[in-house]
Structure 1
Amino acid sequence: MIPNVSLTLTAELHTHARDHLFPGDNLEAAGLLLCSRAPGDLTRLLAQQFLPVPHSACRTRTADEIVWPGEYLEAAIDAAEPQGLAIIAMHSHPGGLFGFSRMDDESDALVMPCLFQATGDLHGSAVMIPNGAVRARTYTPALKATDVGLVRVAHHDIRYWWSDQLGRQGRPLAFTSAMASELSRLTAVVIGVSGTGSIVAEQLARLGFGRVILIDFDKVERKNLNRILNARFIDAENGRLKVDMFAEAVVSYRGPGVAVPVPASITTLDAIEIAAAGDVLFSCVDTLEARQVADLMASSFLIPLIDVGVVIPIRKTGSGVAIGDVCGRIDYVFPGGSTLQDRDVYSPARVRAEYLRRTAPDEHRQEVNAGYIKGIAEEAPAVITLNMRGAAAAVNEFIARTYPFRLDGNEKFARTEFSLAACDEDYTAESAFSRAENPVLGRGDLEPLLGLPSLKRPRKAAA
């Protein structure tokens, strides 16, 4: 079952909290998480900041008890109030109890009313054990407690801690039914359900994801029947939306409710708010603007992103043109790491130039620039084998991160580039990319969404 309430921490914040909560003396320690919220119907808390309570300031610190002064709670309230952030009071359990003790319940009964009296409508508490696993719960102003169903940390590896699997040791083995069982509780988002995206979506649905959100505004045409999975002649004749066509196909082998069609551009407010429910984003798009939005979503909503692109460069010969290469690129981006912009996949200047080119009257030149085969206007390029190669690499990248199976550590594979012409595959480590300041990291639903003025929500009319 897909959890209604979740908490996500960046790897850097998780490490900061763990270092403070476990200083090596086997005594409890405490701190406060400040969390934004992702848009949408689910309660998705996004940790922005960890405020440590100094060990020396605590009145009591033992192996199973901690008492800390209220002034640190007041400081957290002052920091949270301007943006309406939720506050999660967090402490360690050095003994390894992955749950809440009777003393924890009594502490929350004192702390939570103070928080609600000061600010906000949602706060909570959390515990961390020595291996870094986190369990959390939220409270309403009426002090009704709800377990946080899933706590996530995405880094080189992606970690999940489920509230109802407290006794489980380790993680499922890759490519097993246990992996499929866990995937049934997760949501994948596929941005662009065309040549590559339809193949990605097919794999995700058949792997067992509980929900696959499909985002694409385009319709099926005859020219792309040779590369969009599940597309039929009748779909092209009727000008059917790609997402509706694909969602219907998923029903035939997974049943209803798994595929969620979103017939809109990812640049729209509605599509972004729906995509915020994802546990992983797959960017299978052919414009820089869409990649920029996917990149900003990954940072703002703390969702790992896998971006895939394929292309066939050509070269001039004495008798005309020839294939220069047949290649693809897969980038894995984790929240707080280097972004697609850091990696020069796009830049604001190139996004703007793309927009101007798209709105210019020279449509033929635009199609030549945007096609699979650079420099040739192909209406129906026969590229499904290349799309399959790139799509499989993208989905296997997610599996490798969540259920590690590589012989080398995942930090070496931030980017994978393959050349079918050269029979070559190259890898770039995360450490090879510079990382700029990220002003939207953990921004959540703060206005304007993703920090883009064009995504400012309309004001509600006064009652």
Structure 2
Amino acid sequence: MNKLISLRIDEPLFQKLHQHLFPGDGDEHGAVIAAGIVETPRGIRLLAREVFLARDGIDYVPGTRGYRALTAKFVAEKSGYCAEQNLCYLAVHCHGGRDEVCFSADDMASHERGYPALLDITRGGPVGALVFAKNAVAGDIWTASGRFQLDHMTIVGSHIRRLYPSPQPRPRAADPMYDRHVRMFGDVGQEIFSNLKVGIIGLGGGGSLINEWLSRLGVGHIVAIDFDRVELTNRPRIVGTTPWDAMTWLTKSPVPWLKKLGKRLSPYKVHVARRVAKQANPSIRYDAIVGNIVDESTTKLLVDIDFLFLAADSMQSRLVFNALVHQYLIPGIQIGAKVPVDKQTKQVGDIFTATRPVLPFPYGGCLHCHELIPAGRLQQEALSEEERRNQRYVEDEDIAEPSVIALNVKSAEQAVNDFMMMFTGLYKPEVKLCHQLRFARERSIINIEPRANDDCLDCSNNSRSRRAKGDRHRLPCRIPFSRS
């Protein structure tokens, strides 16, 4: 049975490991990675959570059957830790070379001697070994159902890149439709986009723009999630809608039952988004999910995506988005636009748009650490409409805030450009992916310095945090009630 197995690691953790393995002495060095896991029909992803560096001469010593080996004590300590934390155990060492690497015969023999026992110690693992060259990695992964080779490793940072055991064949020439694209980032860049699976939460003003642009960029697979329908007042902000979608001849009717019928017959936003995407790229794979991201069954559809956009404005959606980014090492961006209006004077205040990249490591833009998921707002959203009215959490709750598609464009275009630059490596090394606020009336831009909290339960190295734990940690979602 063939099973695609990959590894994801965040950029700071990879740099820590790489500097240890390749300090410039040309010798062999060792380490252990403790990893979470996610299993889906696309395959198995191992998610690097911690790296334990083996000290030369103490934890990594001359071997009896090979050049060097991790000591029995070091292996016992780290495999025991992985078993206790319900994580996967991966032994690491390096070889010489640059762009190609493989295990030696001694390496493979040692795996066969030790890994069946490690599978028992770690309660089914997976367990395995990785061997690195400077620009390559190979893996021998043991699971309860068999032994598999690592397909690739993804490094998640401002430049999202992959390492393979050997150089990949040159991609085929891109479709002529993308001729102007490949003049910028080549056939390799276009191939990268065609193999990506991208999630979009919220297909309103900002999300519908992102949806069309990703489709035209050549992204191969989109998972779109929204529970709302098209209506007359959101038509000006949703790309691709028509009067027919809004059922205007019914919803404008003075007859109540006809108006209600019109609202029930209007299509869901995700179905309009699918139509727009298919018009832009007929070969795209598109999952139009009518659902709420706070429901666990819906959220689980996103655990193996390659990038995530949040274009919904609730605190609960931010909570789940932030958890997905950190728990499954999925880079993402949250967007939004705000047009505040003073309740007394009715004057428009400081109009601003936000583009907030979130990468899965401390100081990566965590929404919790930036205090963008206030507990009071989460509690407010958890109440029923009647409870909110009784407690007066929201004044004038039936009055919608102003919203204009041009403002959605300002936040969405930076988000899609970030996405494009991150996967093609076009950002200069000094570029920082800070949260960015644009104030429309002043024509000013503010970059927010990254923040991190050592006790954060999403992004930190705290033992209780969800970072990189994958399927072996609960998401902050609603679980469907079942009658026993």
Instruction: Show structure 1 runs of 5+ residues with no match.
Output: 374-380
State yes or no: 1:38 paired with 2:38. yes
Q: How many angstroms apart in 1 are the aligned matches of 2:77 and 2:483? A: 32
Q: How many angstroms apart in 2 are the aligned matches of 1:393 and 1:54? A: 44
Q: How many angstroms apart in 2 are the aligned matches of 1:97 and 1:402? A: 20
Contact 2:124–2:143 (8 Å) recurs in 1: no
1:154/1:367 Cα in 2 relative to 1: closer, same or farther (>3 Å)?
A: farther
Equivalence for 1:366: 397
State yes or no: 1:144 paired with 2:165. no
The one of 381, 403, 416 aligned to 2:424: 403
The one of 276, 282, 296 aligned to 1:249: 276
Within-5 A mapping of 1:36-435: 36-38=36-38, 40-41=40-41, 42-57=43-58, 58-60=60-62, 65-96=67-98, 98-103=100-105, 104-118=107-121, 119-130=123-134, 133-141=136-144, 143-148=146-151, 150-162=152-164, 165-166=167-168, 175-237=185-247, 238-255=265-282, 258-314=285-341, 321-338=346-363, 339-356=366-383, 359-361=387-389, 365-368=396-399, 371-373=400-402, 381=403, 383-406=404-427, 409-411=430-432, 413-430=433-450, 433-435=451-453
Shift of 1:173: 8.6
Q: How many angstroms apart in 2 are the aligned matches of 1:235 and 1:162? A: 47
Shift of 1:294: 0.5
Name the SS of the counterpart of 2:8 in structure 1: strand
Question: How many residue pairs were aligned?
Answer: 435
Q: How many angstroms apart in 1 are the aligned matches of 2:183 and 2:466? A: 34
Name the SS of the counterpart of 2:211 in structure 1: helix
Q: How many angstroms apart in 1 are the aligned matches of 2:191 and 2:103? A: 30
Equivalence for 1:378: none
Equivalence for 2:11: 11
After superposition, the C-alpha distances for 1:349-400 in whole angstroms (9 at most, x for unaligned) are: 33213434855237872244xx442xxxxxxx5x112112221111112223
1:226/1:39 Cα in 2 relative to 1: closer, same or farther (>3 Å)?
A: farther
Give, as a single letter, the amino acid of the residue that structure 1 aligns with 2:353.
Answer: G
After superposition, the C-alpha distances for 1:146-174 in whole angstroms (9 at most, x for unaligned) are: 332x3122233323224574478xxx995
After superposition, the C-alpha distances for 1:200-238 in whole angstroms (9 at most, x for unaligned) are: 111112212221110111122222111111223333332
Equivalence for 2:262: none
Contact 2:33–2:51 (8 Å) recurs in 1: yes
Shift of 1:136: 3.1
Q: How many angstroms apart in 2 are the aligned matches of 1:394 and 1:357? A: 33
Q: How many angstroms apart in 2 are the aligned matches of 1:190 and 1:419? A: 25
Q: How many angstroms apart in 1 are the aligned matches of 2:480 and 2:119? A: 27
Moved more, 435-444 or 339-348: 435-444
Name the SS of the counterpart of 1:105 in structure 2: helix
Give, as a single letter, the amino acid of the residue that structure 2 aligns with 1:37.
Answer: I
Shift of 1:29: 1.2
Q: How many angstroms apart in 2 are the aligned matches of 1:457 and 1:7? A: 31
After superposition, the C-alpha distances for 1:300-357 in whole angstroms (9 at most, x for unaligned) are: 111112011111223589xx64433432011111111331111122222332134348
Shift of 1:47: 1.1
Equivalence for 1:440: 466
Q: How many angstroms apart in 2 are the aligned matches of 1:421 and 1:81? A: 56
Contact 2:35–2:469 (8 Å) recurs in 1: no
1:184/1:218 Cα in 2 relative to 1: closer, same or farther (>3 Å)?
A: same
Q: How many angstroms apart in 1 are the aligned matches of 2:357 and 2:49? A: 22
Aligned CA RMSD, in angstroms, stands at 3.1
Q: How many angstroms apart in 1 are the aligned matches of 2:25 and 2:483? A: 53
Name the SS of the counterpart of 1:218 in structure 2: coil
Contact 2:101–2:137 (8 Å) recurs in 1: no
Name the SS of the counterpart of 2:158 in structure 1: coil
Q: How many angstroms apart in 2 are the aligned matches of 1:399 and 1:70? A: 45
Moved more, 191-200 or 323-332: 323-332
Q: How many angstroms apart in 2 are the aligned matches of 1:444 and 1:415? A: 25
Shift of 1:112: 2.6
Give, as a single letter, the amino acid of the residue that structure 2 aligns with 1:409.
Answer: E
1:80/1:455 Cα in 2 relative to 1: closer, same or farther (>3 Å)?
A: farther
Contact 1:93–1:129 (8 Å) recurs in 2: yes
Contact 1:84–1:120 (8 Å) recurs in 2: no
Contact 1:199–1:229 (8 Å) recurs in 2: yes
Q: Which runs of 4+ in 1 moved over 6 A?
A: 457-461
TM-score by length of 1: 0.84
Give, as a single letter, the amino acid of the residue that structure 2 aligns with 1:124.
Answer: G
Contact 2:137–2:165 (8 Å) recurs in 1: no
Give, as a single letter, the amino acid of the residue that structure 2 aligns with 1:47.
Answer: A
Contact 1:85–1:120 (8 Å) recurs in 2: no
After superposition, the C-alpha distances for 1:108-164 in whole angstroms (9 at most, x for unaligned) are: 333332322433153332122235x5443433346532332x312223332322457
Name the SS of the counterpart of 2:416 in structure 1: helix
Contact 1:173–1:179 (8 Å) recurs in 2: no
Shift of 1:256: 5.3
TM-score by length of 2: 0.80
Name the SS of the counterpart of 1:110 in structure 2: helix
